[in-house]
Amino acid sequence: MSKEIKDKITKMGSDALTASRALANLTTDQKNKILLAMADGILSDADQIISANAIDLDNAVNNNLTNSMIDRLRLDQKRIEAIADGIRQVATLPDPVGEIMDEWERPNGIKIKQIRVPIGIIGIIYESRPNVTSDAAVLCLKTGNATILRGGKESINSNIAISDSLQNAGEKAGLPENSIQLIPFTDRESVKHLAEMDEYLDLIIPRGGAGLIEAVVSMARMPVIKHYDGICHTYVDSECDLEMASNVVMDAKTQKPSVCNALETLLVSEQIADTFLPTIGKLLSEQQVEIRADDLSRNLLGVDSVEVKPDDWKTEYLDLIVSIKVVSDVNEAIDHINHYGSHHSDCIITESVTNANQFMNNVDSATVFWNVSTRFSDGEEFGFGAEIGISTDKLHARGPMALRELTSYKYLISGKGQTKA
């Protein structure tokens, strides 16, 4: 089996190299035409995709996956239409490829341009959510990149159906063969072979739990952009609007708890804890949120809660569970976030400009919010369109990764026979 997996993935790499060279030469109009054909194809193939997804859902139930995980996995007609709408939206976005980033002329008459170009071949490893198959493929296409996808075992049937639909519909509109490839194997060995294939892959992007990402980082022979857990915090400051704080906290925790930008830890200033905690405790309890809190918080909440454990502070629940801690001030909140957080998305609720600036300048996260739910940490909400994910790295991309983050650049130098001699 090992040789079969390695040979298959190596062949995919070789095929992707051929595709990437053709993709780099597509015009913006050609790429947009392909994208619109893909959107139509997804809708035409909706029944087959939903049938494939039903197999994954049955397996998920049999394997006792949590309700939140099953929700991330589920596809229905409405979600298929959302995938198609997302593809059409990408077609409307500006194409960054060919953009002149800078240009200048040297005293000797040499002219230099810095332009955006495709990265080449991107490997993307992800878990559970099958819509990532489409998001990743279409963003790579728009930026002229070939992509090799490796989804999780939970969504293998859905992923195959979606990737086949995209490639088949795209080819009818001019998409090069093998531009979008999905690894049909779900064991970790396939991840190893992909991560070691530096003769073909220019970049690898793992999306999932810390275990998966750390494994990819340890094996990869090419650059890795990491998308770690979303351990997102909201700090309710002493100078906040309490009604606003309640609304933002409830939205961040309960609007969609299964996503990476949902609230996991609530920090509350000790100066307002006796007023705010009973209110938010009641609201959370009404939404069946399990509360794990420190002793001071438990004494003030007025609803059932359990004692928070040390590991809870660094846990991404992806469920109706929240950790709560009372802190002395904004500085303790910052220290807690920088120690336990995942550098993803964190928020302060305050009317104090001084405290807001202190928080926003010192929290070391990709996206830092002031009086805005962390649920807005999203490429579409930023106006980028669909995204590959939220990078918690600092190089070469940070925060929501959309089109520009899937490009590199090169220099074009022209002259009139200048020489060094």
Residues 6+ away with beta carbon under 8 Å from 27 = none
Inform me whether the pLDDT recorded for 279 exceeds 90. Answer: yes
> How many CB atoms within 10 Å of residue 278?
14
Query: Beta 367-370 vs 389-391: how paired, if at all?
Result: unpaired
Q: DSSP letter string over 64-124? A: T--HHHHHHH---HHHHHHHHHHHHHHHHSPP-TT-EEEEEE-TTS-EEEEEEEE--EEEE
Contacts of 165 by beta carbon, 8 Å cutoff, 6+ apart? 38, 41, 42, 44, 45, 48, 49
Q: Compute CA 321 distance to the chain's CA centroid, rounded to the nearest angstrom.
A: 21
| Per-residue pLDDT, 395 | 85
pLDDT digits (tens, 9 = 90+) for 218-231: 999 999 998 878 99
pLDDT higher than threshold 90 for residue 396:
no
CB 203 within 8 A of CB 147: no
8 A C-beta contact, residue 327 and residue 339: no
CATH node for 2-226+393-413: 3.40.605.10
The mean pLDDT value for 218-247 works out to 95
The residue-averaged pLDDT of 344-361 equals 98
Q: Find out whether 371 and 419 touch, Cβ atoms under 8 Å.
A: no
Predicted pLDDT at 127? 82
**Six token digits for residue 59:** 């397996």
pLDDT of residue 339: 98
Q: Is the pLDDT of residue 208 over 80?
A: no
In which band, very low, low, confident or very high, does the pLDDT at 119 lie, cut at 50, 70 and 90? Answer: very high
Each domain of the chain, given as residue ranges in start order, spans 2-226+393-413, 232-376
Number of residues in the chain: 421
Alpha-carbon span 227 to 342, nearest angstrom: 9
Sort strands 146-150 and 367-370 into parallel, antiparallel or unpaired: unpaired
Within 13 A of 182's CA, how many CA atoms are on the CB side? 25
Q: Which of 50-54, 69-73, 102-106, 349-353 has the lowest mean pLDDT?
A: 69-73
Percent of the chain with pLDDT over 70: 100
How high is the pLDDT of residue 1? Answer: 52
Is 1.25.40.90 the CATH number for 232-376? no
Name the 3-class secondary structure at 397: coil
Q: Is 385 a residue whose pLDDT tops 80?
A: no
What pLDDT score was predicted for residue 280?
A: 98
**pLDDT tens-digit map of 24-71:** 999 999 999 999 999 999 999 999 999 999 999 999 999 998 887 898
Q: Which residues contact 322 (CB under 8 A, 6 or more apart)?
A: 253, 263, 264, 265, 266, 284, 289, 290, 291, 292
What pLDDT does residue 128 have?
72
Nearest CA-CA partner of 139 in 87, 61, 212, 215: 87
- Arithmetic mean of pLDDT, 327-348: 97
Q: What mean pLDDT do residues 98-113 have? A: 98
- Give one word for 95, left, alpha or beta, with left for phi > 0 and alpha for psi -120 to 50: beta
Distances (CA, A) of 145 to 37, 83, 207, 343, 421: 18, 20, 18, 27, 40
Averaged pLDDT of the chain: 95
Task: Summarize pLDDT for 171-187 with one digit per residue, the tens.
Answer: 999 999 999 999 999 88
